Amino acid sequence: MSKNTSLKGARKWILFVLGFVIIALSFQLSKTIIDSNPPPRKKAENSIKEVFTLKVKNGPYQVQIPSKGVLQAYKRIRITARVQGVMQTITPLFKSGQEYRSGQTLTKIEPSEYRANVISQRASLYNLITSVLPDLQLDFPKSYTQWNNYLMGFDLEKPVPRLPVMEEKVRLFVSGRGIISSYYSLQNLEKTLTFYEIKAPFSGVLISANVTEGSIIRPGQELGEFIAPGDYELMVALPKSYVSKIARGAPVKVKSIDTNQIYTGIVSRINARVNTQTQSVEVYIRMRDSSLKEGMYMEADINAMEFNNVFALDRGLLNGSEEIFVVKDNKLSLRKVSSIHFTETLAIIRGLNDGEEIVAQPMIGAYSGMEVNPIPYKSK
């Protein structure tokens, strides 16, 4: 009997513990389910969006056409040989970057063989004149003194002196002896002799040297390039429709792409030919500055035309139908405008009144009638 009673008591305790565990687990599970449910959503409030606005102020606008080009020296020559021979070694050496004064010798070509031929021709002319002196003394005694003095000043190592002034009869006489034809043939040879020494036509710098001392030079061979530093020209290609608005001598702002330094130039030349492929015209801008170097990549802003009573705004504010958002009574409304000109970032328009407020920055989801809170925009 006592054994049955103890079993019943143990069963009651076991059932009691199990019931308590089940209740605790149920309570914990219900709490987890409640916590996992999302909180109720609040009803969306009708918020008013803030927008930046600009006040319209119409006025003139100067159209500037940005064009890029490479700087070239205004005064430049290609040094070309006109005779044949071996290039001599002189001081300074014929090297790139070497500076020369006007009239200074750039390079020399060995002329010994040709000079010997010239001296030989001088000697032949000297002998011709000597052979006619006795006849001149008999037939033209006045001219004899002239020709005798001419021979006394004749030097085979120096260029032939000019022929003396002659009367018509004397000219016919000496011409019949071949003196005049020999004289002019000799002058031609002496002129060619000067081509063996190339001199600087102006003060400048040798920017390229294609030959070195000891090289065999041939007629027509390009020896190098020579420029005058400090005086440069920038060639840019502009649309032909703008060229008629550009005047020679007009000032132009030019910027270096590398350093962003600003220079000032003038329009010096405008080509009369239109490029058939690009329909553009070459415009040349003259610049003088000692800090410039040939080959610099430059960007020029050329004043092409001017519009009056227009307003410039960001191109992104203009939609495909040429409409922009205007703020009136704190609401947006679309306004049709007329576009006059476009740049890379701006649209030049007409159709707005002074004092009107427009949206200053593009808006996503904007629509006509939308309520906004306008904030004046201060551009940097």
pLDDT in tens, 127-184: 999 999 999 888 888 889 999 999 998 999 999 999 998 899 999 999 999 999 999 9
At 182 the pLDDT is 94
**Domain coordinates in residue numbering, the chain:** 51-61+308-376, 65-72+230-306, 79-227
* β-pair partners for 367: none
Per-residue pLDDT, 43: 47
pLDDT attached to residue 97: 93
With a cut of 50, list the residues of the chain below it in pLDDT: 1, 43-44, 380
Question: Could you tell me how many residues make up the chain?
Answer: 380
**Which ranges constitute the DSSP H helices of 209-259?**
240-243
Write out the two tokens for 145.
């003194």
CA distance 297 to 352: 40
Which helix (H) or strand (E) segment holds residue 20: the answer is helix 2-36
Domain 65-72+230-306: CATH superfamily is: Efflux pump adaptor protein, beta barrel domain (2.40.30.170)
Hunting for tokens 């430049």 — which residue is that? Answer: 76
What's residue 42's pLDDT? Answer: 53
According to CATH, the topology of domain 51-61+308-376 is 2.40.420
Q: How far is CA 334 from CA 50, 328, 357, 361, in A?
A: 18, 10, 12, 15
Whether 51-61+308-376 and 65-72+230-306 share one fold: the answer is no
